[in-house]
Structure 1
Amino acid sequence: MHQARFYHSASLLTNRKVLITGGALNSVGLNNSELYDPSTGNWTTVNKMNYAGFAHTASVLLNGKVLISGGIMDGFLGVHRAELYDPLTEDWIETASMSHKRVIHTAAVLPNGKVLVTGGLDHDRIILKSAELYDPSTENWTITSDMHTTRSQHTATVLSNGKVLVTGGMDTDDIVLRDAEIYDSSIEMWTNIASMHDNRTMHTATVLPNGKVRVTGGISNGSIILKSAELYDPSTRTWTVTGNMNYERYGHTASLLTNGKVLIAGGINHNFRGINNVELYDPSTGDWITTATMYGERGFHTASMLLNGKVLVAGGIDHHGITTKTAELYHPTTDTFISLDNIKVFGTNKKNGMSLNNSKLD
């Protein structure tokens, strides 16, 4: 990338490009943005956002625009500002502000096109249980019913039935949670469901092809880094403990590949350093398989599933705590990573790296 960054956002646009926005460098918020074009392998800078920020959310709307909400902007913790990116003009436009200031919250695009924003931390460091809806047709926010539990750094996952599963996070007493709840947009109500087996925050939640949700890793009470994983079944509203990952991690990414497997990449380990370990979850067997190692260690990065089936991994914090601007591509068919910086291929054994000069990267 042109800019080193972590706690940024990455959005796959309808034109197949990936929009990288904001983030932090040395804990200072950024307002620059850039685009990755898989057809050329090139990065280009685009117009800057109206506000510098990180730990925000980015949602691709049904009209193709990208909604940025909340975050830490211009040094203020938890803001209610929001803006839209238009891929057609590559311009940023301010839109209505949220009702509540929030950071490390979640945003989920509902089947009806509205965006559900939940929880987070406000400017007074108070953890929220409030939720609100953004309507792209009116560009306005409306309050919806509160969650049952205050939470930040949680997950919000749209299920195959259109409902939203919210899991874990941290509450007002800095206690890591294991409880979960479901939002039904048809009645705008929340329902408590069975709790997860492990308390976790900064974890991932991925909807599998069979409709179940795979939750992985995170950090628990006592700063315990997890390698545990569990499955949520929407048909029974129950959790099942499954085999552990090979590595403990939080601040990692989880990407559903076109072959149905889940790619878990990077994260922060028990030494609180970025790692380059990668593994695959196979839903057909329930097994975790150690796979190709990333070229660079990274946590609090982004991973974007491209339409060609490859995964773009970008930015983050490395093993030395340094913010990186490196990026790489994972190729599922060859089980290799390509560094987009020094043009080398790395597989499970890095000694097998080979030059790709004059080769296409997508």
Structure 2
Amino acid sequence: MISFPGIGASVALLLTYYGRVSAQLDRTGWTVSVDSAQGTWNPASYAIDGDASTFWHTQWTPSTPNLPHNITIDMKAPRSVSALTYLPRQDGNRNGNIGTYAVDVSVDNKTWQMSVASGNWIDDSVLKKANFAAQTAQYIRLRAITEAGGRGQWTSAAEINVLPPAEPSKGIWSAPFNTPLVAAAGAVLPTTGKVLLWSAQFVDHFNGTGNTETATYDPSTKQVSSLSLSNTNHDMFCPGISLDVNGNVVVTGGNNAAKTSIYDSKLGQWTGGPDMKVQRGYQSQTTLSNGKIFTIGGSWSGNGGTLRNGEIFDGTWNKLDGCPVSPMLTQDQDVSNGVNWRRDNHGWLFGWKDGSVFQAGPSRAMNWYTTTTTTGNQSAAGDRLGDADAMNGNAVMYDAVAGQILSVGGAPNYENKTGVNYVTAATTNANIITINAPNTTVKTESVAHMAYPRAFHNSVVLPDGSVFVTGGMQYPKPFQDDLSAFAPELWNSTTRTFTTMNPMSIPRNYHSIALLLPDATVFTAGGGLCYGPADSCTNNHFDAEIFSPPYLFNATDGSAASRPKLTSVSSLSFPVGTNLTVSSDSEIKQFSLVRFASATHSVNTDQRRIPIQPVGAGQANNYTVAVPSDAGVALPGYWMLFGINGAGVPSVATTVQIRTV
């Protein structure tokens, strides 16, 4: 166990469990002051006494002061701090659990920097964390603005702790910021760099049909705006998602199981598309080398009992009955809603050469689908050796030139249920899958495993070829946060090993997303969004966080790294096989193309990375960048072009479009 001076063993265990925090300041001699306390029964000092069985509680008899309440910690000397943890009372009673909160800091207890972190904590007994940018402070104040369960005007806390700045070598998390909905799905818009987010007909639960609540996050302004979508009559909860050749977001099925809606990323408008031939929810879909879109599976929603074979979209939908879903079914033992309702969910699909589709999972059996004939075709691709069915796991194409895919985590069955005897524990498994020509047996290789078992997690390929794995839980339990993995892991594609990163503030499990942004950081949000009514959804996360990977910091002192800048690109829209001339303000060692992405339910079929070794163009900092000539490798659509210097630091991306012609 990690040693934490000045706190009891019971609290140390709670703090370190499952990667929640990694370091803590010595609290010896610290004092606290509060606006209210229940006498000697629940004094303020209990919030920093190192004993999880005691707790501070605001006055509740003979009178009850109104919210908001606050507790201020005097650390007795200025210190560098970057996070606060809050442990709710642990006696089984939830009265006083903090809901909406804010954290303030001060050097002198007079001049305060307000709301360095703010947000909403859910109503349970799990340790909470609020990250913020590193500050020098002697005083730190936690303001309880609401009581999480709305039970009364009181506040309580078993333990409040302050954390030093995180090690930049393990990445830095932003403070959480609020979103107006639970972001169960999202896509990065190529034309603006904004992140399009959506939930369901409601912002906090999903038992409706007919419209979708949406929002956009703008990384340049750090602002979130919301709007209500009703013009397509489509509840896009649990859909398939693809970014097409023109950067439009094509969303299919879900609660309205046959619908298609298309978001024009240039105009910022939704329009209705043609209905699919097969009703679907929990399906996956992917853009192909010819610009068409393929989808398969999705028995969660729609016409129960039928097999959801493949179909293809090229302005209209056409069934491909020669692309059967049956070969890719998992062996999930939950048959409560029909034999196949879990078994064809969330396929790991990759558009590949000659209009083919490679299905890497989550079934152990992998398959090829041919889409260029009238009815399509299927052939076996072999088993994912060293792995079992891995529902709610991830697969990421980190090197499209080499046809290499990393698969991580997942569980044999979709959901952990009480009173059943089948295996649902998530795994730590990691495998490399290498594909080449379509319709051939693929190579699989088991590699060093993750530190934490994960299901419902998200994985994001970074410009340098590493894969960032974040969130997830030890047992797949929809709408819950039990046994969450707070510490993400970074997979190195050269050493083929994982390194544990600094922990995030908020658990991200079922209905969470993670997406690479053009500035080479990672956006993560959501989690929760249960079947209503809204007050039954006790683990909703109306917030987002940004992760800055270690490559953005200097290894010597942790300061922000100097980033190269791409000053010009000879063409921003071009066909495959083009040689680009790229100029930069400093030396570039490698370029990479990373496709703009979308995500929902742990599935992101849009992302992939193309590494490119540049060729000098005859003068300093001018390079020839050769785009692969195969559209199955360089899928048509919008990509982020990064330049990476000798220290491994990526530029901010230049957006480019690879066309079909």
Pick the TM interval, shorter chain. 0.7 to 0.9
Give 1:12-161 correspondences, 5 Å limit. 41-51=171-181, 53-54=182-183, 56-63=184-191, 64-71=193-200, 73-77=203-207, 80-95=212-227, 97-98=229-230, 99=232, 100-121=234-255, 128-161=257-290
What is the identity, as a one-letter code, of the residue corresponding to 2:360? Answer: T
Deviates more, 1:208-217 or 1:256-265: 208-217
**Mapped partners of 2:429, 2:189: distance in 1:** 32
**1:346 counterpart residue number:** none
**Mapped partners of 2:247, 2:132: distance in 1:** 25
- Does residue 276 of the first structure (1) align with residue 438 of the second (2)? no
Shift of residue 174 of structure 1? Answer: 4.0
Q: Could you report, residue by residue, the CA deviation over 1:79-118 in whole angstroms, capped at 9, with x for unpaired residues?
A: 6111111110111112451532231112221112221110
Shift of residue 212 of structure 1? Answer: 3.1
**Mapped partners of 2:131, 2:171: distance in 1:** 17
- Does residue 299 of the first structure (1) align with residue 455 of the second (2)? yes
- Does residue 241 of the first structure (1) align with residue 369 of the second (2)? no
**Mapped partners of 2:295, 2:123: distance in 1:** 29
Q: Does the residue aligned with 2:229 lie in a helix, a strand or coil?
A: coil
- Does residue 290 of the first structure (1) align with residue 433 of the second (2)? no
**2:495 counterpart residue number:** 334
Q: Does the residue aligned with 1:317 lie in a helix, a strand or coil?
A: coil
- Does residue 202 of the first structure (1) align with residue 346 of the second (2)? yes
**Mapped partners of 1:143, 1:117: distance in 2:** 10
Shift of residue 131 of structure 1? Answer: 0.7
Cα distance change, pair 209–41 in 1 and its aligned pair in 2 (3 A): farther
Q: Could you report, residue by residue, the CA deviation over 1:187-238 in whole angstroms, capped at 9, with x for unpaired residues?
A: x2001112234242222112346753221334xxxxxxx3111012344432
Q: Is the 8 A contact 1:58 1:68 kept in 2?
A: yes
Cα distance change, pair 287–33 in 1 and its aligned pair in 2 (3 A): farther
**2:365 counterpart residue number:** 228
Q: Could you report, residue by residue, the CA deviation over 1:60-79 in whole angstroms, capped at 9, with x for unpaired residues?
A: 11121111123463234356
User: Structure 1: 5+ residue runs without aligned partners?
Assistant: 4-21, 27-31, 123-127, 219-225, 343-357
**Mapped partners of 1:178, 1:215: distance in 2:** 15
**2:309 counterpart residue number:** 179
Higher relative contact order (CA 8 A, sep 6+): 2
**Mapped partners of 2:310, 2:364: distance in 1:** 19
**2:318 counterpart residue number:** 191
**Mapped partners of 1:326, 1:267: distance in 2:** 17
Cα distance change, pair 149–163 in 1 and its aligned pair in 2 (3 A): same
**Mapped partners of 1:241, 1:25: distance in 2:** 47
Q: Is the 8 A contact 1:33 1:49 kept in 2?
A: no
Shift of residue 46 of structure 1? Answer: 4.9
Cα distance change, pair 208–335 in 1 and its aligned pair in 2 (3 A): farther
**Mapped partners of 1:160, 1:289: distance in 2:** 26
Q: Is the 8 A contact 1:304 1:313 kept in 2?
A: yes
User: Structure 2: 5+ residue runs without aligned partners?
Assistant: 1-19, 21-82, 86-119, 125-129, 134-167, 330-343, 414-422, 477-481, 504-554, 559-647, 650-661
- Does residue 312 of the first structure (1) align with residue 442 of the second (2)? no
RMSD: 3.3
**Mapped partners of 1:118, 1:207: distance in 2:** 17
TM-score (norm 1): 0.75
**Mapped partners of 1:97, 1:83: distance in 2:** 10
What is the identity, as a one-letter code, of the residue corresponding to 1:115? Answer: V
Equivalences, count: 305
- Does residue 260 of the first structure (1) align with residue 403 of the second (2)? yes
Identity %: 25
Q: Is the 8 A contact 1:313 1:329 kept in 2?
A: yes
What is the identity, as a one-letter code, of the residue corresponding to 2:431? Answer: E
**1:217 counterpart residue number:** 361
Q: Please tell me whether Structure 1 or Structure 2 has the larger radius of gyration of its CA atoms.
A: 2
**Mapped partners of 1:175, 1:272: distance in 2:** 24
Cα distance change, pair 280–83 in 1 and its aligned pair in 2 (3 A): same
**2:297 counterpart residue number:** 168
**Mapped partners of 1:33, 1:163: distance in 2:** 42
